[in-house]
Amino acid sequence: MATFLEGVGSIGVACTLAALVPAAALVLVARKARLTVALWYLVGATLLTWARAGGHWQVELSGAMVPVAAALAAGAFVLAWWARKPASLAATGSGVVAGALAGWLWRPCVGRRLGDILDDVDTEAARTLGLMLVYMAGALLPAVLLAVLPHAVPATRRLLDRLLVAAVGATVGAAYAATLATGRYDDIVGELYRIATDS
């Protein structure tokens, strides 16, 4: 529970926004498969974050990988839009790819429990993978709640199903891909954070 709450506590931190903003935008775009996309995003982000920490994924985001990352981001948003059913390959693929991309890009500000997880990744693989999933569930909670909202409060479905809402998500997705391509994504998130904390 403490690990989950530490993840929740990191929601407002700029480091976490870099993973959370694309997740929320993807959920807005995936009108027919919000929950599927959100949950697979969580799985993808957890796996890549854990794999990086354990040294199992060492591909650097530089050179030729920059346009690849941007293309993956754009592709994940297109797939999310195309997904017509919750149990579809498009929805699953969109969530996994976007989540894995977030896990690849994410440079976390490390709290106590995440620090312990990262310190133990080499020696306790299974336990730390589970704990990482719990932590990420907390950090990405707003995106999951956004996906759950129309199921919990059906009246919100009409609002969330509007094309305008999906367009907002798509705009964020396009900006995400564009800033990834130009290497400016972290700076934009940081600037948003600075503006928010200065006001």
Partner 1 sequence: MSLSFVRYLALGVLVAGVAAIAWTTLGGDEAGDVAVTTTTTVPDATDDPDVTASTVVATTVPPEPIEVLGTADTLTNLDGWLNTDATSLEEIRAANQLTVVQFWTFGCRNCKNTLDALGRLYTDFRGQGMEIVGVHSPEFSYEADVDNIIEAAAGLGVVWPIALDTDKRNFHRWQEGNIGYWPRVYVIDGDNQIRFDRKGDGRATYEQLYETVERLLAEV
Q: Catalog residues that contact partner 1 under the rule CB under 8 A.
A: 2, 4-6, 8-9, 11-15, 52-53, 55, 57-61, 107-116, 118-119, 138, 141-142, 144-145, 148-149, 151-154, 186-187, 189-191, 193-194
Decide whether 137 or 170 has the Cβ nearer to partner 1: 137
Decide whether 119 or 161 has the Cβ nearer to partner 1: 119
Decide whether 54 or 75 has the Cβ nearer to partner 1: 54
Q: How far is the CB of 196 from partner 1 (least distance, A)?
A: 12
How does 87-100 read in b/e, with b if 16+ C-beta sit within 10 Å? ebebbbbbbbbbbb
Q: How far is the CB of 154 from partner 1 (least distance, A)?
A: 7
Look up residue 69 and give its two tokens.
């990352």
Residues listed for the chain: 199
Torsion, CA 174, CA 176, CA 179, CA 180, rounded to 10: -120
Q: Where does residue 173 rank: exposed (0-12), middle (13-18), buried (19+ CB within 10 A)?
A: buried
Q: How far is the CB of 88 from partner 1 (least distance, A)?
A: 19
Decide whether 71 or 109 has the Cβ nearer to partner 1: 109
Look up residue 63 and give its two tokens.
């050179």
How does 31-41 read in b/e, with b if 16+ C-beta sit within 10 Å? bbbbbbbbbbb
Q: How far is the CB of 78 from partner 1 (least distance, A)?
A: 27
Q: How far is the CB of 100 from partner 1 (least distance, A)?
A: 13
Decide whether 44 or 93 has the Cβ nearer to partner 1: 44
**Residue the block writes with tokens 């040294």:** 55
> What's the CA gap between 36 and 30, in Å, rounded?
9
